[in-house]
Amino acid sequence: KKKIAVMTSGGDSPGMNSAVRAVVRAGIYYGCDVYAVYEGYEGLLKGGDLLKKMEWQDVRGWLSEGGTLIGTARCMEFRERWGRKQAAGNLIREGIDALVVCGGDGSLTGADLFRSEWPSLVKELVEDGTFTEEQVEPYKNLTIVGLVGSIDNDMSGTDSTIGAYSALERICEMVDYIDATAKSHSRAFVVEVMGRHCGWLALMAGIATAADYIFIPERAAPSGEWQKELQRVCQAHREKGRRNNTVIVAEGALDDKLNPITSEQVKDALIELGLDTKITTLGHVQRGGTAVAHDRWLATLQGVDAVKAVLEMTPDTPSPLIGILENKIIRMPLMESVKLTKSVADAIEHKDFDKAISLRDSEFIELYENFIST
């Protein structure tokens, strides 16, 4: 009987519970034993109670729960080889040789490394007497399948990551609230959103709320000049009758010399224009709460496909990442997607912003610049 473990890793995201639920139930449906790894990679390292066999009813009601009910962590020890060796030992002890990981690119890269090291880790576990040759015989290979759970929507090769649309929804709701009070006082608001090095949340929220201006890492603002441009746009909107201004700043926003653009700097520029300006940093409210329908069905379909991928994979199949492209659930080599994602960061680092934009959501950036922030 195939034994599959499912875990969540890195920052939690709405929809992770739907993904775990789908893996548990699809696994049982296909005749497998399914385990949940609690507390992310930490659970793999510690084993014992943190590796729990799941039954059909254990995940009842999970679709509408926020966060991740099996816990998550950013685990430093798993970055070390000794940590991965300990994790391998715990998996073999439970008889598990397939792992479905739902997390961001860091967590998935760690999973792929774990898989490539697996034969040598097992060899070491035999050499140091932890297991006998006979005991490890059935565990020659480890199967890894990746699901992307992140509010940042920063993974290349897939249209949306599990949690991104929920966070976006939350941001838009908050901006609507802020707009109401801003209009009452004729104020300007700088709203800082998450996204790490990716501007997707800021960009899509900018379009969905018609924010006056946005700052995102991919469209680096001209250093020393962006203040004037921001002031011009906000002024123009006021002249057209707008009673408030909303500026959305991605937490990773940069100028073209790669200096961070902070909400404080943006606020100062708006005050210079004579606007009564406040800052709201949305923080973790945008990550918590229940998942929107999009993330629930995305995680469900992808969780089911992850189990199918586990059952279809051979030792030579590159670890797949389950994505979505043009409304179809797809599989692509996980490391190809990680490489593509890294090329965006490299383009930004080399100040090749046109390339960074072309690798991201260029059509949405154009739409925003030409029709909203004019």
User: Could you say whether residue 195 binds ligand F6P (CB under 6 A)?
Assistant: yes
User: Could you say whether residue 157 binds ligand F6P (CB under 6 A)?
Assistant: no
User: Could you say whether residue 267 binds ligand F6P (CB under 6 A)?
Assistant: no
| 39 neighbors 8 (Cβ within 8 angstroms) | no
Window contacting ligand F6P (CB under 6 A); options: 85-93, 188-196, 265-273, 334-342: 188-196
Q: Binding residue for ligand F6P (CB under 6 A) from 42, 112, 152, 305?
A: 152
| 117 neighbors 84 (Cβ within 8 angstroms) | yes
In the three-class reduction of DSSP (H, G, I as helix; E, B as strand; rest coil), residue 207 is classed as helix
Dump the DSSP string for 270-339.
HHHTT--EEEEE-GGGGT-SPPPHHHHHHHHHHHHHHHHHHHH--TTSPPEEEEEETTEEEEEEHHHHHH
Q: Binding residue for ligand F6P (CB under 6 A) from 4, 6, 11, 75?
A: 11
Q: Name the nearest CA neighbour of 202 among 183, 180, 221, 222.
A: 221
**Could you tell me the smallest distance in angstroms from the CB atom of residue 154 to ligand F6P?**
8
Whether residue 117 is annotated as binding a ligand: the answer is no
**Could you tell me the smallest distance in angstroms from the CB atom of residue 374 to ligand F6P?**
29
152 is catalytic: yes
User: Could you say whether residue 209 binds ligand F6P (CB under 6 A)?
Assistant: no
**Could you tell me the smallest distance in angstroms from the CB atom of residue 11 to ligand F6P?**
4
Q: Binding residue for ligand F6P (CB under 6 A) from 194, 247, 254, 359?
A: 194
**Could you tell me the smallest distance in angstroms from the CB atom of residue 24 to ligand F6P?**
24
Whether residue 363 is annotated as binding a ligand: the answer is no
Choosing from 12, 97, 112, 152, which is the catalytic residue? 152
Q: Name the nearest CA neighbour of 261 among 351, 190, 357.
A: 190
Whether residue 294 is annotated as binding a ligand: the answer is no
In the three-class reduction of DSSP (H, G, I as helix; E, B as strand; rest coil), residue 116 is classed as helix
Window contacting ligand F6P (CB under 6 A); options: 87-95, 117-125, 190-198, 241-249: 190-198
Q: Binding residue for ligand F6P (CB under 6 A) from 196, 308, 339, 355?
A: 196
Q: What is the C-alpha to C-alpha distance for residues 230 and 339, in angstroms, rounded to an integer?
A: 34
Q: Name the nearest CA neighbour of 15 among 90, 69, 55.
A: 69
User: Could you say whether residue 105 binds ligand F6P (CB under 6 A)?
Assistant: no
**Could you tell me the smallest distance in angstroms from the CB atom of residue 150 to ligand F6P?**
5
Number of shown-chain residues binding ligand F6P (CB under 6 A): 10
Q: What is the DSSP letter of 235?
A: H
Instruction: State which of positions 327-366 bind ligand F6P (CB under 6 A).
Output: none
Q: What is the C-alpha to C-alpha distance for residues 270 and 265, in angstroms, rounded to an integer?
A: 9
Whether residue 104 is annotated as binding a ligand: the answer is yes
Bridge partners for 101 per DSSP: 7, 146
Query: Judged by CB, which is closer to ligand F6P: 150, or 337?
Result: 150
Q: What is the C-alpha to C-alpha distance for residues 343 and 30, in angstroms, rounded to an integer?
A: 38
User: Could you say whether residue 104 binds ligand F6P (CB under 6 A)?
Assistant: yes
Window contacting ligand F6P (CB under 6 A); options: 33-41, 90-98, 189-197, 314-322: 189-197
Residue the block writes with tokens 């209009």: 183
Q: What is the C-alpha to C-alpha distance for residues 175 and 211, in angstroms, rounded to an integer?
A: 9
Where along the sequence are the contacts to ligand F6P (CB under 6 A)? Answer: 11, 104, 150-152, 194-196, 251, 287
Catalytic residues: 152
